[in-house]
C-alpha cells in the first residue's frame, strides 16, 4: 500500500463514510474537528441530489458532526454548474426535488415546462409515466440530457429503493440518448469540488467507502484515493469490490480513527 502523499484538500464522502442513515460512524466527529483544528481544507462530497446544502449540514450537525452549508458539494450543485457553464441562462426542465431546484435557480438557469434546452434528472419520488413520456419527448426533440447521479438503489427506512440512476435508465432506454452523468463515478463532481477548493485534482484526496463510486471517481479525476472500511466495502468483501471496480485505492484505512491518525499524525 502506498504512503500518503502531500495533499492540500480532502473530498469526503458521507453515507457509509461518516454515517449510516441517521447514525454517525464512530470517529466521524473527531475526524472533522481535528481537520478543523489543523486547518486542513475539506469538503463533503455526496451524490445525493435531493437535499440542499443546508439540509445536508443540518443532518450532520444533528448527529454531532460539525458542518456548515459552505462545506457541502452535492451532485445537484455540480449539475447546475455544468449546465450554466455549457449554456448560461439555459432553459431547463427539471425532474427532481428541492436540492436540484435550488441549485438550478442559484446558477441563474430558467426552469421551464416546455421547449427546454436541457432535461436534468435526479432522484424524483413523484416520478410518473407521464413524467417519463415528457422527458423522452423533449430529449428526442433535441434537449440535452443530464443525470445528477447514476445510483440505481438508495437506502431507506424500508430497505433499498430505486435511485436516480434507475429512473435515468428508463429515460435513456426510451430516448436512445445517453445522459451526461455528473455524480460519482464520473469525474464531473470531483472537478466541481476541486474547483471549489481552488486546487488541481492531483492536489486533492478523495475519501470514501465505495470502490465503484467514491474511489473510481477520485481515480478518474486524478486525485489520490483513500478507502475506509466503514460502509459498503469491508475487510471481508474488499477484494470483490476492488476486482469489480478494476482499480485499487492508494491507501486503505480500517476505520475513521486510523484515518484521522494518518491525516493528522
Active site residue 15: yes
Active site residue 13: yes
Looking up cell 447546475 gives: 80
Longest Cα separation, the chain:
56
Q: DSSP state, 55? A: H
| φ, ψ of residue 12 in degrees (nearest 5) | -110, 125
Helix axes 188-196, 75-86, angle to 10 degrees: 90
Q: Where are the beta strands (DSSP E) in 55-156?
A: 72-74, 91-95, 110-111, 118-121, 144-147, 153-156
SS3 42: strand
Q: Is the peptide bond before 185 cis (omega within 30 degrees of 0)?
A: yes
Nearest to 47 by CA among 19, 76, 20: 76
- Answer for the pair 187, 202: CB distance below 8 angstroms, yes or no: no
Helix (H) or strand (E) holding 162: strand 159-162
Nearest to 124 by CA among 176, 156, 162: 162
CA distances, 218 to each of 95, 186, 213, 224 (Å) = 27, 9, 8, 7
Nearest to 85 by CA among 200, 219, 195, 223: 195
> Which residues are catalytically annotated?
13, 15
Amino acid at each position: 500500500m502506498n504512503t500518503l502523499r502531500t495533499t492540500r484538500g480532502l473530498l469526503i464522502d458521507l453515507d457509509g463514510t461518516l454515517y449510516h442513515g441517521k447514525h454517525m460512524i464512530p470517529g466521524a466527529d473527531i475526524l472533522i474537528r481535528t481537520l478543523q483544528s489543523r486547518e486542513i481544507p475539506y469538503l463533503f462530497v455526496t451524490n445525493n441530489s435531493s437535499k440542499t446544502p443546508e439540509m445536508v449540514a443540518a443532518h450532520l450537525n444533528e448527529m454531532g458532526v460539525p458542518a456548515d452549508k459552505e462545506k457541502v458539494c452535492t451532485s445537484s450543485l455540480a449539475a447546475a454548474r455544468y449546465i450554466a457553464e455549457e449554456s448560461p441562462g439555459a432553459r431547463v426542465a427539471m425532474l427532481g426535488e428541492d436540492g436540484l431546484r435550488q441549485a438550478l435557480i442559484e446558477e441563474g438557469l430558467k426552469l421551464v415546462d416546455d421547449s427546454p434546452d436541457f432535461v436534468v434528472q435526479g432522484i424524483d419520488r413523484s416520478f410518473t409515466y407521464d413524467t417519463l413520456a415528457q422527458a423522452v419527448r423533449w430529449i428526442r426533440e433535441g434537449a440535452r440530457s443530464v443525470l445528477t447521479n447514476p445510483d440505481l438503489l438508495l437506502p431507506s427506512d424500508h430497505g433499498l429503493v430505486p435511485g436516480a440512476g434507475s429512473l435515468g435508465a428508463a429515460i435513456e432506454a426510451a430516448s436512445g440518448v445517453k445522459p451526461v452523468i455528473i455524480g460519482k463515478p464520473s469525474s464531473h463532481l470531483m472537478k466541481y469540488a476541486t474547483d471549489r477548493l481552488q486546487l488541481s485534482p492531483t492536489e486533492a484526496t478523495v475519501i470514501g467507502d465505495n470502490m465503484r463510486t467514491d474511489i473510481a471517481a477520485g481515480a478518474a479525476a486524478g486525485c489520490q484515493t483513500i478507502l475506509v472500511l466503514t460502509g459498503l466495502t469491508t475487510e471481508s468483501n474488499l477484494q470483490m469490490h476492488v476486482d469489480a471496480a478494476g482499480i485499487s485505492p492508494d491507501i486503505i484505512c480500517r476505520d475513521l480513527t486510523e484515518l484521522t491518525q494518518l491525516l493528522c499524525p
